[in-house]
Structure 1
Amino acid sequence: MARIEAGPQSQPSGRSRDWNFHPNLPISMSPVFDIPPKPAEALRWLLGTWFKLAPPLSHIVLAVITVAFLLPSYSAMQELSPGWMAQIAAINFGWTILLGTVLHLYLYAFAGQKMRLKFDVRPMEKSSRFLFGDQVWDNVFWTLASSVVFWTGWSILYFYVAANGWVPTLDSIGASPIWFVLFFFVLRFWQSFHFYWIHRLIHFPWLFKRVHSLHHRNVNVGPWSGLAMHPVEGFLYFSGLLIHFVLPSHPIHVIFHMFSLSLGALYSHAGFDKLLVRGKATIKAGSFHHQLHHRFFECNYGSEEMPLDRWFGSFHDGTDAATKRIRARKKLIFARK
């Protein structure tokens, strides 16, 4: 299927009646899966994703630092003991608290770039819908009390079985250098594939009402909204780690994958398209693709890496025409319930 391109009716980045800021419309998805293939475009997209100041690159850097200086040794992890398990927990809670706090303070508490590049003009809510009557503290609570707990549980399980040789592992980068590099790309596509289907699952009415509605209270999102999940959703979301029980992985792969899921969610829900450095849009932050999901609900279940939303008719490209189509689709969905 051909990628949706910006045609004559495309809208440049800027303001609209629905958004304080939006990127160029219509937004597009990865051309990697386009038919017929577009190798030059696919390569440009991959290079643009990996070799710019954007979350994937920062996740690799943080994963290398974590494995080199913070991760317990495999010999220590062969037995379940409080010491190394607490060390894993400290890594996960530490990076989450650090990044979440920095993003929130800069973008919201200190308004470091005011409203520039912010998608939604509204501030974080003070409402009885949220714990403590405050959206931010509600989000912090569910992030730390639910999502990071399950992230830590999955991590401890993996490293325990890996340390005992019960799953395939890469002992060193030199053992399979081609696979070591290639697996990072595989993980990005796997993350998109897994997230799409888990996300569709928790949008079924029974699960949405009891589980996913907690996350969707955040119509206007901030960094701490990304991991503000019900425990069932947190468990399912981080179950993407199961790929490492099947395919040979180096610890850097595993930590990178977990950072993509966790720290990546803080970035993607930042509410701002980019972070400004000396007044220039420099570091990719929020995802307008996912911001559309929080606004319009029955669309953009996945991410830009895989065009599953396009294939299954749930892609919102940010245009008014797409809004009308998604609203009509939503009426049909709810009419059947």
Structure 2
Amino acid sequence: MSAIVAVRYLLTSGGFAFWTAKRHPGLYANRRQIAREIGWSLASALIYGLPAGIVAWGWRQHGWTRIYTDPHAYPLWWLPASILLYLLAHDAWFYWTHRAMHEPRLFSRIHAVHHASRPPTAWAAMSFHWSEALTGAIVIPALVFLIPIHVAALGIVLAIMTLMGVTNHMGWELFPRALVHGRAGEWLITATHHQRHHRDYRCNYGLYFRLWDRLCGTDKGLGGF
């Protein structure tokens, strides 16, 4: 599973980095930074793979989880509802753990690894200290023991997690201006929103949604490139 996570990271981040080189030549000029991001990310992939492997083994061999394969085991409306519920739960976990890591002692010991990417690149999506990687690695595996989800819906959750992790760090905005500056952009996080976090640090802590930032007064709006 660690190898699968590592290959997924290399393909996804590598693909978006290649696209960036075509769209914005020279944007990723700091090769030492990129090498550091890849090194930390591959170490994080090892950590992410451990609980994922336990879940896969427990599901297949012992039926421990609430992952199901029959789409009719639950009402069909539960398929999209479970995806949204997983994303909301993950987003809440990420907001509070991420915000905690910006406290001075935790930041200097742990989260500074991620913020060493100035500006972040598509390779920085998993560039974490091992202890931060651990907090991110356990949340989805924990949810599958609590909330029923179809295996395909779980795949969608993981795909969204990967996509948002990469695109939020690209250093340029992938999504159209109408989305970013429209009604949807008031609640969804894209690179323009997360870029301000990397610039100003003590704001914009969310992963998918701006909900917790708005509720807690930490949403400082969109940044620029």
Q: 2 CA distance for matches of 1:263 and 1:123?
A: 19
Q: Does 1:311 align with 2:215?
A: yes
- Which residue of 2 is the match for residue 254 of structure 1? 154
Query: Which has the higher relative contact order, 1 or 2, with Cα contacts under 8 A spaced 6 or more apart?
Result: 2
Per the TM alignment, residue 275 of structure 1 is displaced from its structure 2 partner at its CA by 7.2
Matching of residues 99-118 of structure 1 within 5 Å: 99-107=12-20, 111-114=21-24
Matching of residues 108-257 of structure 1 within 5 Å: 111-114=21-24, 123-125=28-30, 134-145=32-43, 147-163=44-60, 164-176=62-74, 177-241=76-140, 242-257=142-157
The alignment partner of 1:175 has SS state of coil
The 3 A distance-change label for structure 1 pair 143 and 263 is farther
Is contact 2:194–2:204 with CA below 8 Å preserved after alignment?
yes
Match of 2:10 among 73, 90, 97: 97
Q: Identity of aligned pairs, percent?
A: 23
Q: 2 CA distance for matches of 1:211 and 1:310?
A: 25
The 3 A distance-change label for structure 1 pair 138 and 218 is same
Unaligned runs of 5+ in 1: 1-87, 116-120, 127-133, 277-284, 321-337
Q: How many residues align?
A: 209
The 3 A distance-change label for structure 1 pair 136 and 220 is same
Q: 1 CA distance for matches of 2:210 and 2:90?
A: 9
Larger Rg: 1
Unaligned runs of 5+ in 2: 177-188
Q: 2 CA distance for matches of 1:253 and 1:270?
A: 26
Per the TM alignment, residue 267 of structure 1 is displaced from its structure 2 partner at its CA by 1.8
The alignment partner of 2:68 has SS state of coil
The 3 A distance-change label for structure 1 pair 179 and 210 is same
Is contact 2:47–2:134 with CA below 8 Å preserved after alignment?
yes
The alignment partner of 2:198 has SS state of helix
The 3 A distance-change label for structure 1 pair 153 and 172 is same
Is contact 1:193–1:306 with CA below 8 Å preserved after alignment?
no
The 3 A distance-change label for structure 1 pair 166 and 92 is same
Counterpart AA for 1:106:
W
Q: 2 CA distance for matches of 1:113 and 1:247?
A: 41
Is contact 2:171–2:195 with CA below 8 Å preserved after alignment?
yes
Is contact 2:66–2:148 with CA below 8 Å preserved after alignment?
yes
Counterpart AA for 1:112:
K
- Which residue of 1 is the match for residue 203 of structure 2? 299
What is the TM-score of this pair, normalised by structure 2?
0.83
The alignment partner of 1:269 has SS state of coil
Counterpart AA for 1:169:
I
Is contact 2:34–2:123 with CA below 8 Å preserved after alignment?
yes
What is the TM-score of this pair, normalised by structure 1?
0.57
The 3 A distance-change label for structure 1 pair 181 and 299 is same
Is contact 1:124–1:220 with CA below 8 Å preserved after alignment?
no
Deviations 1:16-56 (A, max 9, x none): xxxxxxxxxxxxxxxxxxxxxxxxxxxxxxxxxxxxxxxxx
